[in-house]
A and B are shown apart, each in its own frame.
Chain A
Amino acid sequence: MWKYFAKRLGMMAVALFFIILLTFIIMHSIPGGPFTSDRKVSAEVEAALNAKYNLDAPLYEQFFDYLGGVLRGDFGPSYEYTGKSVNDFIANGFPVSAKLGVITMVFVLLASIPMGILAAVKNGKWQDMAVMAVATIGVTIPSFVIASVLIYIFSFRLNWLPTYGVDTWKGYILPVIALGGYSVSYLARLMRSSLLEVMGQDYIRTARAKGLSETKVILRHAMRNALIPVITVLGPTVANLLTGSFVVEKIFAIPGLGVHFVNSVSQRDYTTIMGVTIFYATFLLAMIFIVDVFYCLIDPRIKYE
């Protein structure tokens, strides 16, 4: 099994290399550059700017210079924001996004799994209908709509919660709901269908036949298998929530990492595009890897060779 994990780690490194290479190529092939502004600067100024950021070197040289920097953990200076580095963006933005993400994750788990179990156990009854109704709304309505409605009701009409920012604990309530709404609904539905499927299997009947209480049957025997699909999507979900959602962060003015994802592209801020993409990709690959490790622990049927 350890051999398998070592191999997986090696593959991750290869995947990461290709992600870096592809992003680099695509980024440089789209028209426009980091210094395209609404005011055309003279050729000399453009040359001076390109020289300042080493953009006049051949592309392959820029790529290997950059790769060297990445290996040393240096994502380079931002081309767009004078005096700031991509490491600054990540160091400042990621903790903010991650804190919101962790709180949202806890909220998602605490809400979705009990909801899913309840719906499965009360299959076809009103509890099931209610959970499914909420979950359907959650997956179909986009987060920015949920966010706007929440702000309108709780900040503007009732004046209970702040409109923007996460300066106090109250500030977290609305973004957490807006950010986690989709995941709660999706995971609750997944939990429900997965549990229903497991409940119909032979070993559950055996467990019941042994005279175990229904609670024990569900929590001890059914849940372990029913959680596998949930854990599969949990990896990317965690990565997603922790690295920040541009839309939610924008609406609630949360200074996280999400905004750099989106803005750096339209600004052609090459180093920021690269740095944030690499950071996100690494995070995502790590999460998927962790999920695989979890499979092993939770499901004795899975053996890695």
Chain B
Amino acid sequence: MKKKISLVLALGLACSTVLSGCGGSSGETEPQTIAEATTEAPSSEAAEAETEAPAASGAQEMTFIISNEPDGIDPGITNNSFASIFLANCFEGLVTYDSTGTVVGGNAESWDISDDGTVYTFHLRDGLKWSDGSDLTANDYVYAMQRVLDPATGGQYVDILTAYIKNAKEYYSGEATADELGIKAVDDQTLEITLIQPTSFFIDLLTMWVFDPVQQATIEANGDQWTASADTYICNGPFKITEMNMGESMILEKNENYWDAANVTLDKLTLRYVLDTSTALTAYESGEVDGIRNIPSADYARLKAENAGVQTVPNYGTVWYNINCSKEPYNDPLVRKALNLAIDRQSIINNVVQVDATPAYNFLAPGYVVNGKDITEGRSDRGLGPNADPEAAKAALAEAGYPNGEGFPTIQLSYYADDTVKKVVEAMAEMLQTNLGVNVEVTSNDWAIFYENVQNGDYDVAAMGWTADYTHPMSFLPLLVTGDANNNSFYSNPEYDALVEQAKSETDPEVAADLILQAEDVAMDEYPFINLYYKTNDFLMKDYVKGYYMLSNGNLCFKNVTISK
């Protein structure tokens, strides 16, 4: 649920994330990126691995509760965020994020990039093996990516490959052969990927699980069913699945064939599905389980006060409300500015959502670092503040031709069936009515209907937001590009489109960052969204569990976990 529940929980949860096979603590290599940029995603102090390795004591086993069953655990097929806990711990791709959110080598020990920035050559580690003990070679990567590019696979992230890899789109539509495709195994340990054009964030993209290798033998023998039983679920990460109980639990055990198995301490990780978050919390508080993934929002403040093990990690995503920029009177930036000024963000964070979050005045979440500096530092606040500014809001609305809200049509505020979103929407409706003197009508639908309406432009203001697939602003920017499939606020500005296009192929990260910020300035000065706050991920973990870390893409990694009771 799945995707809809994912949105249901969107206020605190990643919608769709990236697979990083959890960074290596040993064998770290210096990534040789063109301009030596480092891409860092901050991970919270609280959730970060302890600096000193604690002594392991007691059984190295733990139980962690998750509330949602993913739609599948095939890395080539799913784009479902609930799969991340399985894929991040059972698979590892060419590169991965370490506990600080830095891109490091995963299966690849090192890589070279051609001078023109279009050919990436990866050198795999020696002796890589699948969980069944067979050899893992560069050909497995070629197979996995060709499989994603086969329409019969039904891969949901296929666009990530077709947008950047040479001839991938043509291969997908049957117009190019495997020989022409820009993915080649030079030898067993060398993989060469050729891009359409220089793409400075391609290494970041490679942390996504759609690039993970899958084993040809098991897929050919079992088809789609290979992910349905523990025996056939062959993987290559720190853990392997040893038991699958449908709808109940998945049992992960240490994968002895993982290249860095010597540094994996945890023997057994039971991931138990408990749909009801209150039940999960009771189980945690009575000591039956060691951690839970979702905290009921009503209990957040109390648990925090009791030091019960609340972990809050920034998530590379933003909660916002779309404004339909193609519709009268919302096509006027002044109207959109008025709506923005009328919202008391701090009050929504403190009193409605009740989480530790930062008010958002822009749509790019903090978290992307170039040369040691978060590029979002020192951005304009677009004249907005944590609290509402009714005077300025009314003035903007008057300037747009609606003094005191007179003559302004009733605002349709749409949302999808979800308790938290409902409360936020009600608070926003109240703020808009009081501060602008306009009428607001709230409408709710289930996710499938709501989202179809939004895509068809059948709304005024709608609950939305975004969680990035990879930690780079380019995962956000297309949302406002004219004609993009995900641009459902229908904002359009040729200047913005041109800047994004330029940023996409710019290989110098500093220049690219500058272009990205310019693009954001252009769009945000016209208020296509009501940005509310930057997302966080919250979960609970007992204090005797050490060494886990959650990345800003929402992946919770157990690779370095030790239990010291």
Contacts and interface: CB of A to CB of B under 8 A. Distances in A.
A284 B225 CA distance: 32
Interface string B351-367: 00000000000000000
Most chain B Cβ neighbours within 10 Å, of A92, A156, A163, A267: A163
Interface string B284-319: 011010000000000000000000000000000000
Contact of B247 (A51, A83, A255): A255
Given A39-B15, A82-B71, A83-B74, A45 B228 contact: no
Contact of B77 (A36, A51, A82, A268): A82
A253 B279 contact: yes
Interface in B263-280: 272-276, 278-280
Nearest to B445: A31
A44 interface: yes
B500 to A, nearest CB: 18
B154 A48 contact: yes
Interface string B51-82: 00000000000000000010110100111100
Given A159-B286, A164-B279, A31 B448 contact: yes
A250 B275 contact: yes
Nearest to B76: A82
Nearest to B417: A266
A164 B283 contact: yes
B381 interface: no
B382 interface: no
B330 interface: no
B248 interface: yes
A246 B4 CA distance: 18
B221 interface: no
Interface residues of B, number: 59
Nearest to A166: B248
Interface string B425-468: 00000000000000000000011110110010000000000000
A162 interface: yes
A89 interface: yes
A81 B71 contact: yes
A36 B452 contact: yes
Given A80-B2, A253-B279, A259-B247, A266 B225 contact: no
B156 interface: yes
Nearest to A253: B274
B29 interface: no
Nearest to A151: B282
B485 interface: yes
Contacts of B152: 48, 52
A52 B247 contact: no
A40 interface: yes
Nearest to A162: B288
B352 to A, nearest CB: 22
Question: Residue among B172, B247, B455 with the most chain A CB within 10 A?
Answer: B247
B16 interface: yes
Given A31-B449, A253-B274, A37 B282 contact: no
Contacts of A89: 246
B413 to A, nearest CB: 19
A93 interface: yes
Nearest to B83: A82
Contacts of B548: none
A82 B282 CA distance: 32
Interface string A138-156: 0000000000100110011
A47 B154 CA distance: 9
Contacts of A32: 446-449, 451-452
Contacts of B276: 250-251, 253
A39 B79 contact: yes
A229 B34 CA distance: 81
Contacts of A163: 279, 282-283, 286, 288
Contacts of B451: 32, 36, 38
Nearest to B450: A32
Nearest to B448: A32
A196 B15 CA distance: 59
Contacts of B225: 83
A44 B151 contact: yes
A268 B272 CA distance: 25
Given A31-B449, A163-B286, A48 B151 contact: yes
Given A253-B273, A255-B245, A44 B286 contact: no
Contacts of A83: 72, 74, 223-228
Contacts of A45: 154-156, 158-159
A255 B2 CA distance: 16
Nearest to A260: B247
Nearest to B70: A81
A74 interface: no
B228 A84 contact: yes
Contacts of A250: 275-276
A215 interface: no
Interface string A267-290: 110000000000000000000000
Contacts of A81: 69, 71-72
A163 B286 CA distance: 8
A236 interface: no
Given A39-B79, A83-B74, A253-B273, A44 B173 contact: yes
Interface in B110-142: none
A267 B247 contact: no
B250 to A, nearest CB: 12
A9 B152 CA distance: 42
A42 interface: yes
26 contacts: A32-B448, A36-B448, A36-B452, A37-B80, A38-B3, A38-B15, A39-B156, A42-B485, A48-B152, A49-B156, A52-B151, A52-B152, A77-B224, A80-B71, A83-B74, A92-B246, A148-B278, A163-B279, A163-B283, A164-B279, A164-B288, A250-B275, A253-B272, A267-B1, A267-B2, A267-B4
Interface of B: 1-4, 6-7, 10, 15-16, 69, 71-72, 74, 77-80, 151-152, 154-156, 158-159, 172-173, 223-228, 245-248, 272-276, 278-280, 282-283, 285-286, 288, 446-449, 451-452, 455, 485-486, 488
- 9 smallest A-B Cβ distances: which pairs? A32-B448, A82-B72, A255-B247, A48-B151, A255-B248, A253-B274, A37-B3, A163-B283, A83-B224
Given A92-B246, A163-B279, 5 more contacts: A32-B451, A38-B451, A45-B158, A93-B246, A151-B279
